[in-house]
Amino acid sequence: MNIDFIFSTILMRRVMKKSKVLFLILLICSIQAIGQVTIGNGENSLEISGSISTYLNFRDLDSGLVDQKKNRFNLRDAQFQLEGRSGKYWEYKIQIDIADVIAGENDPENPGLMDAWMQYKGLKAFDIKMGYGKIAWSRFDQTPFTSSTYWQRPEFLRGSFASIRDVGVELSKSFWKQRATMNVGIYNGLGEVSLKGDNDASGAFEYTGRFDLGWPTQFRFREIDDRHVRKPMFGIGLNGRYTKRNLPSGSFFPSGAKSDYGIKMVDGEKLTYGFDAAFQWQGFSAQFEIIQIKMTPQDSTSALFYSNSSARAGGNIFAGGLVAQASYHIAGIHTIVSGRYETFNANDLFLGLNERFSAALAYQIDGFKSMIKAQYTHIITKENINAADWINQYRIGWQYQF
């Protein structure tokens, strides 16, 4: 077998891979020409929709670093979505991002499979949903990406401190004229890695809960007041998550489960709780969210203690973060301006704190359906855990929904 054959084989594989991508993009574009479509027979209805987003990214690296691989165009989303309703009480959804499936990435903020669930709404006591999808937890996580001015959520809410999606079952109930909603769920607790099939050796589950309250009406998960509501609207939320995963000696979490900050999965107990609030009025909107994570490793020599003794740390490690964001929708010129401050700490036993400031500007060509978004992020301070190797990031791109 000579070098030419090997080279041509490798080249052919790359061409084939790119051809598949090109074919899928052309397929998406052809469907894009049709737009959102619904098929129905009077009893069942199925809607086909999707979105495409691409951005250009640049970074100012830390002094002395030269790897510019993040200066690039990136196809962030090439999504298909099937949403269906069967009869009066059944709903289902499948949402897949082809760009991430082909890239083989499992970014929690932007995974390949985003939703695959069914829901029954025929019980008076509650609605029940089962499958894979977003956990009713953080306000920022539950806000759809396409309704945000930003390309990235706050760093500590992008799925590395706690999972955004998982496989499990959720019960939900609204009351007080839908102003209040309660969600409780049980999940595998491995987050996006649950899709690989098995649980970890502890066989434990994660228990989640969220309570929402809006005034004077329900407050939907939206960041921007593009309706310029004439009455002030408020929303608050409380959330909590708990899991106890004592791994048997010699076993490990599945590959990819722990994340870069090392706290997404804990061999021991993990309790996460948070509070969030939102406000909107006359085009102005603001959101605030704070979370705290309490970790209690079963192993007193766990690396999470970072050379501190477990006794000195009281057996616990804490992490958390808070974010405050404000935006204004300028109706006359279809433009949104926004600013965000976030601070987070991946481990209170480790010196340092992360602080970031982001600014975003969006121009709505056709509402949120077609929008140019630009985001600038500046890192103010860094904690030396999974520290970013850059100071400034510039990102501009286009999102389109069909």
Partner 1 sequence: MIKLLFVFVGLSALAQPSVSFLKPSKSISLNIPEPSDVCVAANGKTLFIVSDNGGLYETDLEGKVLRSTTIDLNDAEGVYADNENIYLVEERNRFIKQYSIKDFALVNTVYVPYSGGRNKSFESIAKRSEGGFVLFTEKDPVWMFELNEQFQETGRVKWNLPGDISAATFWKNSLWLLSDERAEIWLSDFSNKIIVKRFKLPVLNPEGIAFLPNGTLLILSDDEHRLYFFNDFNAAGDEKK
* Cα(341)–Cα(362) distance, integer angstroms: 18
Give the range of 30-38, 97-105, 235-243, 309-317 binding partner 1 by CB under 8 A.
30-38
Q: Between 307 and 346, how does the x/- string for binding to partner 1 read (CB under 8 A)?
A: -------------------------xx-------------
Of the residues 203, 216, 248, 352, which one makes contact with partner 1 according to CB under 8 A: 216
Element (H, E) at 8: helix 3-34
Nearest residue (CB) to partner 1, 64 versus 332: 332
Q: Between 62 and 101, how does the x/- string for binding to partner 1 read (CB under 8 A)?
A: ---------------------x-x-xx-------------
Q: Is 256 exposed, middle or buried (0-12, 13-18, 19+ CB in 10 A)?
A: middle
223 closest CA partner among 142, 158, 156, 290: 142
Q: Which amino acid is at 344?
A: F
DSSP states of 334-392 as a string? TEEEEEEEEEEES-TTSS--EEEEEEEEEEEEETBTEEEEEEEEEEEE--SSS--SEEE
* Cα(230)–Cα(169) distance, integer angstroms: 38
Q: Does 369 engage in binding with partner 1 (CB under 8 A)?
A: yes
Give the range of 24-32, 41-49, 241-249, 295-303 binding partner 1 by CB under 8 A.
41-49
Q: Does 224 engage in binding with partner 1 (CB under 8 A)?
A: no
Q: Does 203 engage in binding with partner 1 (CB under 8 A)?
A: no
Q: Does 371 engage in binding with partner 1 (CB under 8 A)?
A: no
Q: Does 231 engage in binding with partner 1 (CB under 8 A)?
A: yes
Give the range of 226-234, 264-272, 289-297, 315-323 binding partner 1 by CB under 8 A.
226-234
Q: Does 35 engage in binding with partner 1 (CB under 8 A)?
A: yes
For the record, the structure tokens of 146 come out as: 């396409």
With H, G, I as helix, E, B as strand and everything else as coil, classify residue 280. Answer: strand
Q: Does 178 engage in binding with partner 1 (CB under 8 A)?
A: yes
Of the residues 21, 31, 32, 49, which one makes contact with partner 1 according to CB under 8 A: 49
137 closest CA partner among 31, 221, 73: 221
Of the residues 8, 71, 217, 381, which one makes contact with partner 1 according to CB under 8 A: 217
Of the residues 40, 122, 203, 352, which one makes contact with partner 1 according to CB under 8 A: 40
Q: Which amino acid is at 164?
A: I
What residues between 233 and 252 interact with partner 1 by CB under 8 A? 233
* Cα(226)–Cα(334) distance, integer angstroms: 9
Q: Does 45 engage in binding with partner 1 (CB under 8 A)?
A: yes
Number of residues that bind partner 1 (CB under 8 A): 31
Give the range of 24-32, 223-231, 296-304, 391-399 binding partner 1 by CB under 8 A.
223-231
Buried b (16+ CB within 10 A) or exposed e, 326-357: bbbbeeeeeebebebebbbbbbbbbeeebebe
Q: Which amino acid is at 395?
A: R
Q: Does 384 engage in binding with partner 1 (CB under 8 A)?
A: no
* Shortest distance (Å) from residue 121 CB to partner 1: 9
Distances (CA, A) of 51 to 93, 146, 323, 368, 399: 15, 9, 27, 11, 7
* Shortest distance (Å) from residue 45 CB to partner 1: 5
Nearest residue (CB) to partner 1, 103 versus 229: 229
Q: Does 38 engage in binding with partner 1 (CB under 8 A)?
A: yes
Nearest residue (CB) to partner 1, 35 versus 144: 35
Measured at the CA of 343, the angle between CA 338 and CA 349, to 5 degrees, comes to 170
82 strand-pairing partners:
48, 94
Q: How many CA atoms lie within 13 A of 87 on its CB side?
A: 6
The footprint of partner 1 (CB under 8 A) covers 35-40, 42-43, 45-47, 49, 83, 85, 87-88, 177-178, 216-218, 226-231, 233, 332-333, 369
